[in-house]
Structures are given as C-alpha cells and as structure tokens.
Structure 1
Amino acid sequence: MKTLAINRDLILSRASDDDLAALDLLYLSDPNLSILSPLAKAGYFKARMGQIPAEVANEALQTIFAIAGEDGEALRGGESIVVFIEEIVQHCIERRIGEDRIIQIGFESEGSISEFLGNSDAWLSLDELAEISLNKESPRLSDVLLESLNRKVAHRKPEC
C-alpha cells in the first residue's frame, strides 16, 4: 500500500474497497492508523462508518486552513490591506397598541465598514468547527469540509 496514494484517495473519497479492507486490517494492529494523515484518517472513518469520531475530526480540522482569496498573496507576503464591506439590513419594528392593534414599521439600512487585515489574517484555521459538521449526510469528506469552511468564513465577516 502506497502511503501517499492512500492518503490522497481517502481525502478525495476515492479509496477502493481493497484499500479500505487493507486499512481495516491495519486498524486491528494500529488503532491510531499512524500511516494516515489526520485528514485521511477522517476520510477512512467517513468511508467505513459514515461517522467520524470527535477526536479524529478535531485533529483533522486543526490541519486545514482557509487562505484569503484575491489578496491572499499580498497578505502572505507580509503586506497589510484594507477590505471594504457593505451590508444591507432590513428592519421591522412591531408595536402593539391596545388589545388588537399592531403597527409595523419596516425600513432598510445600508452600512459600509472597512476591516484592516495584517498578514496573520491571511489564513484562518478550521479547528473551531464542531466535529458534527464533518458528519453530515454526504458520503464525501470534501463536500462536508467545503460546507463547514463556508459556514466558518461566513461567521468571520464583520457586520455593520
């Protein structure tokens, strides 16, 4: 079994039944599956059991980073940048008058803010994600990782 190839195939959810069977035997003698990277180990459990144990998921998530897009190279090169973000918020205020009368006032506001990013912001670790996010219905590890990444990045956006 070629270690690099099996690690890659597990991460990409392409491991064959023969590869998984060989890993099943290895698991009996080495429950830590030490030949696998943390992410590949998560892929093994996802493929075999459909669930990734919490400790395996947490270890795998600590090895993944999201790299800033357009300005990522500048950030990694040590430059600092300013990102401008606009946000539109719809508001609704509801007020009850007496027993049976409700008044609703709706309006929309728009805000613009800037966020200063230094090179330490060029990447963001996914290790704060709950392991539950890796145990979604999808059989492919990459699908649930991408969903988890999108959720984490969405929570990091500043709000006006």
Structure 2
Amino acid sequence: MLVLNGPNLDLLGTREPHLYGPHTLADVERLCRTTAHTLGLAADVRQSNHEGVLIDAVHEARTAHRGIVINPAAYSHTSIALRDALAAVGLPVVEVHLTNIHRREPFRHHSHVSAVADAVVCGAGVHGYVLALTHLAHLLDADGHADGHGDGDR
C-alpha cells in the first residue's frame, strides 16, 4: 500500500497540536507500517510538500502498489491535478484527514480528492490511517486481490 501525506504533515506534533494532536509524522509512519503488517500487507509511507512529487508517487503506484491511502492535506481543496492522477491509476483510494474537515473553515468542506476516493475517513485523528488501511485490505480481499496470507505484498 502506498500511504501519501501532503503538505505540512511533516510538522505534525508541533503544528497546531490542539487541532492535529500530539503525534508526529514518524508516529504515523510506524502506525501505518504496523497496521499494514498486521493485515498481511506492506506500507510504503511518504510525505511531500510538493504537489508534483505527490503526483509522481501516485503514477508510480500504478505498477508498484495495490492501493493508496492519501492525506492530501491542503491539496484536497486545491489540486485538480492530484485528483486526476488518483483517478487515472485505477487503484482503490482511501482519503484520510486527521480533523473533521466539515467542522472546519468553509473552504475546507470541499475536497476534489473525495470524488475519486473509494472511502473518506475524517476526524479520527491518526487512527484514521488504521481505518483506511483496514478498509483497503477489505476492498482488495473483496475483489480477490489480497491473499490474506501475510506475505507483505504491497
């Protein structure tokens, strides 16, 4: 599984902890790897503040991964290019937001990514990544793509 984190998520733990919580990006990365392993999968966890780097990672996922968990952060609300890349690769996608974007500023209420995501998890904090990976495993199993043998396939 590819787990992508967008802009400013490298500041987790210090950036507005009253909103985003005390966990760091390193905590999120460990959580994702542990969760994926428990599900018999592997997690390739990345973060970038650059839209093009995220799009390149999505393109790479087309042949290197079986699903994508993405926290596009502010690019949720601005990046049609990221939305188009996710739509083009043909992989299951789960969008994650640490906060409930629908309880925040009005400009955060719309996500371009949501329109192409198979599921959206928001407001669950870092546990949202666990929910997203678990749901991706379910989607893959339902489609007959996951073997459930814990071999660490991406």
TM-score w.r.t. the length of structure 2 is 0.23
Specify which structure has the higher proportion of helix.
Answer: 2
- Max radius of gyration: which structure? 1
